[in-house]
Structure 1
Amino acid sequence: MKYFWLFLCFIISSTFFGQTKIKGQVIDIDNAVPIAFASVTYNKNTITADWEGKFSVEVNDTKLPIKINYKGYYEKAVYVSDSKTVMIIKLVTDLNDKKAEIYSEIKVNNIIKKVIENKKNNDPEKALASFQYKNYEYLQVTANPDSISSKIDTIYKKRLLGKTVIKLDSVNYKFKKVVEKHHLYQTEKVNLIQHSNKKYKETVLATRMAGFETPLYEYLGLKLVSYSAYENPFKILEIPVQNPISNYGRKLYSYKLIDTVSIQGRKAFRVYFQPKKLNSNKLRGLLYIDTETFAIAKAFYRIYGVVNINATYTFNYRKNEQIWFPKKRDFKVLKGNNYEDLKILGGTIKFSSSLDNVESKNATDQAYLHIESTPFDIEINQPITITKPRVKIEVPESSLNKPDAYWRTFAKDTIDKRKLRTYTTIDSLSLSEKIEHKVFLGRKIFNGYFPINIIDLDLRSIVKFNNFEGFRVGIGGITNDKLSENYRVAFYGAYGLKDREFKYGITPSYLLHKETETWVGASYSDDIYEIAQTNFVTDSRRFKIYDPRPINISTFYNNKLGLAYVESKMLAKTSSYFGVSHNQIQPLFDYTFVNDAKSYTDYTITAVQLAFQWNPFSNYMQTPIGKIEYEKRHPKFTLQLTQTLPNLLGNDFVFSKIDFKTYYELPYLSGQKSSLLLQTGIAFGDVPITHLYSIVPNNLNRDAILKRITFAGKNSFETMYFNEFFSNKYASLQLKHTFNKIRFGYKINPELTIVTRMAIGSNNKDNQHLGISYKTMEDGFFESGVEFNKIFKGFGLVTFYRYGPNQLAKFEDNIAIKVSYFLDLGF
């Protein structure tokens, strides 16, 4: 009998040790997106993978295959090797299956429909009269040291003559040592979030950023993911996507009822959703829906693509209010299938993919960004006073210097030793490398200035070139806060080497009201300007290493300009300008303007100008350094009105101008973007050619294509010749779509943009413009082209073709080839 038990133990132990636990994940071979709930069959037993395509199987016979099935894909059979316990199984789409979409069951469709119908009862922002809470948010950029190899790799490189060079690569080893000691980066903030009567306000109570005495205010407004699971559009990395619990979202997503579970003693449906187009990289995830109230009790969101994103929302059920209120928000960003670095907080951070649990050759690919957001001190349906409701985020001076004792109250039960070391390490690194100064300097350069003591040097004034002046050399600047916060003086001086003339200008101004950034100023200048161009005075200034269009322009006018003005941001989401100017104009080309039987070769224009830029969908932050547009939404609108003043200071002509433009940009999670620019203007009265419209032409009137190659402008008509068209009213539309970079290798990675531009205009006034001939655009002007930008070192190549009623007789005359250049300042 004892031999029987011995034999039985031998059989059992043989069976036990013969089994191997295999972990796997099922993904799409084309886009590496996990395939949720795929069927996994082994030895006639079938299980279902989870919503991230992961499964676990006990294998006791390696000769038997594991079969994977999912509708729309070919079946795949894989065999397990003794040495491999983790498998990534890639399914191939069945091209014979013509169904591009899958559809939801009737029952789960009704559940989602009830979720949408009951939003008004379940969304705290709609269901509650008021609420406020404090929110602690901790952001870290870090990596798991265990995921990084500590080996020092050997690299073999071949030289030109065939000799092999052996080098030691210790990057992974050093990176592992760094992340074992401290996180790569971290920042914390505490906000007071208030909702009352459909008004929203966020006040920063405390903030600190590793390496910065003064925080990057742009980060304080950074919204990487929506606060509310009900928000539509739902925001991921500040890019809007359709929420699956919205009416339009139901058309884009399919839903599957998995089971019913218990959360905090309440039953909840567990519903999986994914895009109807299975190969789409859109949002997918799990929703836990209260079976009684149809509220969201828990939610998981995933996006796989250029970056891989994991977002988790947890809620706490409050019996008194019968509502699920936010408890915690967890957000993680990892590298996806992109080859480019993802830039956040002005720096470059590399993220890793969570699909393959294998060591990366590049250690920094194991880094990830993680945000935890936790509400506390919650008050519901209590009297709330919201101050300055027009400002969505307020950052008072008192929030910038909280002591360490304040932050210790937010420490977790388990002390993160790496977190404690990060601030001291990053702060010392910041001091040694002057990171904060570099950010300050970067902001200045971005706006076209370089600070030198009490003066910000104007980088645009140093050197320019055009056909009239030749090389124009000069110097300019503006006083900064080191001299005074309440007044400033801008100035410049320049000399044209070809026309041998000096140009200069000076503009003193005074700050009337700091909070609304209201300035009053005066200006005098003696300079030249391009004819027939519209400059919107409320446009923000951005740095360009050069301005390509004026290089080829020959028709300028001299203007001795005296100006008094007021500019302000007093109106919500609006920049406004009011100015009165006196212009003594002398055209610098052969031109005579005949008006009321009188000829003018030079003239005086006294005018008043009123301008507004309105960004109704953007959100603003009030900081100690002024108001910041932290959430730039589109469309944006600009309106500018100009009226000459009869019989004042020698004004010669009476005319009015109305100019308008709107810009809309739509970014996509894929990294692509589309944009639209609509601009129009109309002039009434007696308008000289210097103040008409020529709609930004940028082509030389030369016979050969190669002789017309110049630099491309940003929004100029590349096939329209200089001085070809003039109008007293016009409308133009520009459409662009920019694709992701194309990787050719050898650091040649162009950015492809397709562009279409069109314009229509007329000039039906009887004034005579002598000395210059031109056409009008009653029949319209059309051009389309392709831009290959940033091919190498910022340089690119663009080509456009002109077509339609104003197409030229010779085919080659309708083609324009240009060189483009983009300067990437890194912020």
Structure 2
Amino acid sequence: MSSIETFLMRYSYLLFLFLLTSFVFGQTKIKGQVIDFDTTIPIAFAKITYEKTTVFADWEGKFSIEVTDFKKPMYVRYKGYYEKPAYASNDGNLFIIKLTQDINKVKNEYYSLNKVNHIVKKVIENKENTQPERALNSYEYKNYEFIQITANPDSITGEIDKTYKRNIFGKRIVKLDSTNYKFKKLVENSHIYQTEKVNLIQHQNRTNKETVLASRMAGFKQPLYEFLGLKLISYSVYENPFEILEIPLQNPISNYGRKLYTYHLLDSTEIQNRKVYRIYFQPKKLRANRLRGILYIDAQNFSVAKAYYRIYGIVNVNATYTFNYLKKENIWFPEKRKIVLSKGSNSEDLTILGGTMKFRSSLEQDLDNNASDRTVLILESTPFDIKINQPLKLKNDGIKIYVPENSLSKSEKYWGSIAKDTVDIRKMKTYISLDSLSQSSNIERKIFLGKKIINGYLPISYVDLDLRSIIKFNNFEGFRLGLGAVTNDKVSEKYKVAFYGAYGLKDNGFKYGITPSYLLNKEDETWVSASYSDDVNEIGQTTFATDTRRFKVYDPRPFNISTFYNSKMASAFIESKILPKTSTYFSLSRNEITPLFDYTFINNGQSFTNYNVSSMQFAIQWNPFSSYMQTPLGKIEIEKRHPKFSLQITQTIPEILGNDFDFTKVDFKTFYEIPYLSGQKSSLLFQAGIAYGDIPLTQLYAIAPNNLNKDAILRRITFAGKNSFETMYYNEFFSDKYVSLQLKHTFNRINIGYKLNPEFTVVTRMAFGSIDNKENHVGLPFNSLEKGFFESGVECNKLFKGFGLVAFYRYGNYQLPNFDDNIAIKISFSLDLGI
């Protein structure tokens, strides 16, 4: 044997090791993600081929693959998209591949395999036996929940950035930006914000109650009750609609949801020694911002054993539900719920609880370490002390959440024994730092003021100043200067006195009113009041006594009204929320009415130029789909769901206090609003009224006109109302019975540039009406609405500094001969209080 052969035999293993090492180090593992080109939504289970290797992306569009030559392409395929060759780079960043949809091939709907559809169908059919709210007679458990706004300090660069600019003389100057440095120091020490609560969840016979046992919010001695009722995501995976950020979505395990989603059976696995199917679901319209996720379905009882949900869009949502199997009851009971919110694809800030969170799209991984892009909101809730099928007694009183006063002052020892999360050093520092910040910035006082202002009041010592009474304008009074106020809790929690005085510069008339009130029941907010006023009112106006009072800088419609009547009214009334999910009002009143325009009412051969009306009125607003919280301060509507209904009945009282007429009025309205996760919303407002008997023009229906009777379009430019008919002229129509419908859709704000961010709304309005005995009303000519009134338009609101422009066009049977007379152009104004 030669020396060469001997050398090769001895060192052949070294040669093999050298060749193997060269091969291994010639490969590089690339991590990537496949997303839609236009929406940046991940494309689940896309097929990636590189030479002879094929891998599939996971349900978030992510994959990893070995690459030996970066000059060779990998090919990415997915149904409904163009095949794309993609060249990776060896820079260590996540490799983003954007696929473009093939419009010629994509289909709105396609069907999954029969097997997975059968499994989903069984899940829906078995809800009565598997959904805890249906399968169990009763249950209760305590739930520890915390919400944090935070960021990972390791993801934020602590460097102080330098920017270079030139001054007017051309000299280069250096500016330092320490934002990231300061933010990193903050989140290394504490979270940005946090709040905790412990609540008792009880269920019996499909009635659910929640009682807050303890709560605390960083920076607040008294909690914001509205925040205690914040529902970022549904408690149950079976709820339909399934809610995220209080936006209703069709649940993928509902009958209608099966029409919107497609399902893919991935494989099977085990959870707690039980076989479960892993099923991925996504919208049939791939680019829709609906839910995507994975459901783990028990192979024996077809219940949900685990669930992941994702939404990509304006807000990116990652939610996880875990369950524990109860062998005796044969159901999966909630074990933990976690949701993480981050900024999505829009350019505006996501705001919660007065704190602003700024993000970019989480799918674009080649971003710098800007601090604001790393902020997230985390909600986590953990049930404990679970009791199943034990006797409970729950009142069906319309209250979803109770907040006892003793839940607001739990000791640190209590929180130490109750917290169910892992040790978090930053948590206690957050309470200390935010409590100090709150005191130094007087945050609680600012929020208290904000809540008052949004209802139209400014607290000053012992009274709350009525902001809407200071200055007004209309064509009859001209500028109306006034002062109004109501006593607050510093005077008494049981009594209050509201009063106002005003003077019209054009009519030289003084108006005033006073209303003392007494609180009968704090829990139900039952007030009994008496009132006297001497004032002027718009003719034909319909107001609902149960409507909530909201702040307005001005009321736009009265700017151009010139037909008023003087009203001297004395009344006694009671307001209450004693009935579940309602606000009620009942009054007895006497009203001396004097029309302040040329008008005579002919009734039974007798002429009236002024008259007395004694009446009783009952009004109720019912919000059957809303949820309410009972707090030490009263009831709060925490989940404002639609539709809402209002009914009002007015009946004169014959031969009482000089009453001149006998008539009845019945008014009804319903409002329905549909919000979308994209930020857009649609709404419907339906109103109807009927008045029969001896009813004068001042009490008829004018249906909120808002157009001046002038020739040129530009001379008719005024302020637009909220729900008024912009092309209907004042005093053009009156009815004793009517129906009206208003449809609106509001799009997202558009960033034009130069601080112009308009919000566009398309609107259609229509009304039908009629009147009996029109000849009894003398002095003011008008028409009726038998043929139907129609107008449509576009609102460009919030164009600049709250101001905008709206344009409406009148059409149909009451269209006017001159084209210009059917057009109304108005100015709109929206005040954003930032609350």
TM-score range, shorter chain: over 0.9
1:173 corresponding residue in structure 2: 181
User: Tell me, what secondary structure is at the counterpart of 2:743?
Assistant: strand
8 Å Cα contact 1:593-1:768 kept in structure 2:
yes
1-structure distance, mates of 2:744, 2:80: 35
For residues 221-273 of structure 1, give each alpha carbon's deviation from its aligned partner in whole angstroms, at most 9, with x where no partner exists. 11110000111110111111011111111111000000011111111000000
Residue 81 (structure 1) shift:
2.3
Q: CA offsets, 1:592-619, max 9 Å, x none?
A: 2122222211111111111111111111
Q: Which residue of 1 aligns with 2:371?
A: 363
Closer/same/farther in 2, CA of residues 761 and 160 from structure 1, 3 Å limit:
farther
In the other structure, the counterpart of 1:193 is: 201
Deviation at 1:368, TM superposition (A): 0.8
Which residue of 310, 318, 331 maps to 1:302?
310
C-alpha displacement of 1:658: 0.6
| CA gap 1:65/1:619 in 2 versus in 1, 3 angstroms | same
**Residue 702 of structure 1 corresponds to which residue in structure 2?**
710
SS at match of 1:393: strand
> Residues 501-533 of structure 1: CA distance to partner in whole angstroms, max 9, x if unpaired?
111100001011111111111001111101110
Residue 714 of structure 1 is matched in structure 2 by 722
Match of 1:508 among 506, 510, 516: 516
Distance 1:321 1:813 in 2: 71
Question: 1:39 and 2:47 equivalent?
Answer: yes
Match of 1:90 in 2: 98
Q: Is the 8 A contact 2:661 2:694 kept in 1?
A: yes
- In the alignment, the residues of structure 2 paired with residue 660 and residue 498 of structure 1 have an alpha-carbon distance, to the nearest angstrom, of 36
For residue 654 of structure 1, the aligned residue among 653, 659, 662 is 662
The alignment partner of 2:115 has SS state of helix
Note the C-alpha offset of 1:686: 1.3
Q: CA RMSD in A?
A: 1.5
**Which of residues 49, 61, 67 in structure 1 aligns to 2:69?**
61
> Could you report, residue by residue, the CA deviation over 1:273-330 in whole angstroms, capped at 9, with x for unpaired residues?
0001111111110000011111100000001111110110000011111111000001
SS of the equivalent of 2:38 reads coil
The 1:597–1:413 alpha-carbon spacing in structure 2 relative to 1, beyond 3 Å, is closer
The yes-or-no answer on 1:801 pairing with 2:795 is no
SS at match of 2:103: coil
Return 12-21 or 788-797, whichever deviates more.
12-21
8 Å contact 1:149–1:173 — kept in the other structure?
yes
Give the whole-Å Cα distance in 2 for the aligned partners of 1:384 and 1:159.
75
**Counterpart of 1:437?**
445
1:71 to partner: Cα distance: 1.0
Letter paired with 1:639: L
> Aligned-pair distance for 1:480?
0.8
CA shift for structure 1 position 767 = 5.0
Which one of 446, 449, 465 corresponds to residue 457 of structure 1?
A: 465
d(CA) in 1 for partners of 2:395 and 2:780?
A: 59
Q: 1:529 aligns with which of 509, 518, 537?
A: 537
CA offset digits 1:783-815 (Å, max 9, x no partner): 000001111111111000000000000001000
Question: Does 2:731 correspond to 1:741?
Answer: no
Report the AA paired with residue 198 of structure 1: R
Deviation of residue 165 (structure 1)? Answer: 5.6
| Cα distance change on mapping 1:157 and 1:472 into 2, 3 Å | farther
Shift of 1:389: 4.5
Decide whether the 8 Å contact of 1:149 with 1:359 is kept in 2. Answer: no
Quick check: 8-17 or 573-582, which moved more?
8-17
SS at match of 2:722: coil
Give 2:737's aligned residue: 729
- In the superposition, the TM-score normalised over structure 1's length comes to 0.98
The answer (yes or no) to whether the contact 1:352–1:368 under 8 Å persists in 2 is no
Q: How far apart, CA to CA, are the structure 2 residues paired with 1:282 and 1:364? A: 26
Q: Give the Cα separation in 2 of the matches to 1:69 and 1:178.
A: 45
Q: 1:552, 1:809 → 2: CA distance?
A: 24
- Is 2:407 the partner of 1:399? yes
1:328 aligns with 2:336: yes
The secondary structure found in structure 1 opposite 2:529 is: strand
Q: Which residue of 2 aligns with 1:318?
A: 326
The one-character-per-residue Cα deviations of 1:150-205 (angstroms, maximum 9, x if unpaired) are 22223345778987664322212211211111111000000100011121110000
Range that drifts further, 31-40 or 147-156: 147-156
1:48 maps to which of 49, 56, 70: 56
SS across alignment from 2:181:
helix
SS of equivalent to 2:415? helix
Does 2:433 match 1:425?
yes
Does residue 217 in structure 1 map to residue 225 in structure 2?
yes
SS in 2 for 1:457: strand
TM-score, normalized by length of structure 2? 0.97
Quote the Cα distance in structure 2 between the aligned partners of 1:821 and 1:427.
Answer: 37
Q: Is the 8 A contact 1:478 1:488 kept in 2?
A: yes
Summarize the Cα distance change of 1:735–1:164 in structure 2 as closer, same or farther, 3 Å threshold. farther
In 2, Cα distance between equivalents of 1:726 and 1:361: 64
Cα shift readout 1:65-121 (whole Å, capped 9, x = no counterpart): 222111111112222223244211111111221423232111100010111111111
Output the amino acid matched with 2:100.
V
Structure 2 residue identity aligned to 1:780:
G
One-letter code aligned to 1:421: K
Q: What is the deviation of 1:745?
A: 1.5
Question: Which of the numbers 123, 146, 151 marks the counterpart of 1:138?
Answer: 146
Percent of aligned pairs sharing the same letter:
66
Q: Is the CA contact (8 Å cut-off) linking 2:233 and 2:244 kept in structure 1?
A: yes
Which SS does the other structure have where 1:740 is aligned?
A: coil
Do the aligned partners of 1:201 and 1:389 also contact (CA within 8 Å) in 2?
no
Output the CA distance in 2 between the equivalents of 1:281 and 1:387: 39
Relative to 1, partners in 2 of residues 1:582 and 1:86: Cα closer, same or farther, differing over 3 Å?
same
Deviation readout 1:715-746 (Å, 9 max, x if unpaired)? 00000001111111111100000011112112
Is 2:289 aligned against 1:281? yes
Counterpart of 2:581 (choices 566, 569, 573) is 573
Aligned to 1:482: 490
Q: Give distance in 2, aligned partners of 1:210 and 1:514.
A: 28
> Following the alignment from structure 1 to structure 2, what is the Cα–Cα distance between the partners of residues 345 and 427?
15
1:595·1:767 contact (CA, 8 Å) conserved in 2?
A: no
Q: Out of 476-485 and 335-344, give the one that drifted further.
A: 335-344
Q: Amino acid of the residue matched to residue 677 of structure 1?
A: L
Partner of 2:382: 374
SS at match of 1:407: helix
Q: CA deviation at 1:766?
A: 5.0
Q: Partner of 1:364: helix, strand, or coil?
A: helix
Counterpart CA distance in 2 for 1:664 and 1:70 is: 40
Letter in 2 for 1:543: F
User: 1:670 aligns to what?
Assistant: 678
Q: Contact 1:143 / 1:179 at 8 angstroms: preserved in 2?
A: yes
Q: Which residue number corresponds to residue 152 of structure 1? A: 160
Report deviation, 1:646. Answer: 1.3
Cα deviation for residue 440 of structure 1 reads 0.8
Structure 1 residue aligned with 2:272, among 264, 285, 288?
264
SS at match of 1:589: coil
Q: Is the 8 A contact 2:350 2:357 kept in 1?
A: yes
User: Once the 2 structures are TM-superposed, how far is the Cα of residue 7 of structure 1 from its aligned partner?
Assistant: 2.3
Partners of 1:163 and 1:593 in 2: CA distance: 82
2:623 equivalent in structure 1: 615
Q: Distance in 1 between matches of 2:169 and 2:633?
A: 59
Q: 1:517 aligns with which of 508, 513, 525?
A: 525
Structure 2 stretches of 5 or more lacking a match? 1-8
Q: Measure, in 1, the Cα distance between the counterparts of 2:223 and 2:368.
A: 33
Contact 1:795 1:819 in 2 (8 A): yes
1:5 corresponds to which of 9, 13, 16: 13
Aligned position for 2:242: 234
